[in-house]
Amino acid sequence: MATKSSKYALITGCGQGGIGEALAREYMSRGVVPIATILPSESSEHLSDAKITWFYLDVTRDSSIADLKSKIFEHTAADTDVTAVQKMFDVNVFGPMRMVHVFHDMIIRSKGTIVNIGSIGGIVPYVYGGEIADPKSVQI
């Protein structure tokens, strides 16, 4: 069962008996929530039987990809906790701003440096990482 803190893996090409299906099962066995995609012409029974969340996807159609994005957002981000997002911004955006505000005179006089640590998540988005990636992108 997926929770707010779940890790997810979006896997395309999860037709029955293929590498995608095997990956989905392996991720599930490791506690990662797989989100599998199959072509609209394929059966989903093997995924449903394994309790793997799946969606139809035709990667040759932009509208199909956009539809998948919307469905995944609904599936994973609907429970976003505003308080948790506020905390992320407090730590990753306003915290560094406060440090610079308080220490800027000292830093200028001593020709010192403040080092803020960011994350690749601010540059390279990943599935379901919005509440972490948004404040990290401000740092970068």
Quickly list DSSP for 2-24: --TT--EEEES---TTSHHHHHH
| End-to-end Cα, the chain, rounded Å | 34
Burial pattern 31-50, b for ≥16 Cβ within 10 A else e, equals eebbbbbbeeebebebbeee
Long-range contacts of 23-26 (CB under 8 A, 24+ apart): 24/50, 24/52, 25/50, 25/52
Residue 86 in contact with residue 131, Cβ under 8 Å? no
| 117-126: pLDDT as tens digits | 777 666 666 5
Q: pLDDT digits over 57-101, tens only?
A: 999 999 999 999 999 988 876 566 778 778 888 888 888 889 999
The answer to whether 36 and 24 are in contact (CB under 8 A) is: yes
pTM for the model stands at 0.56
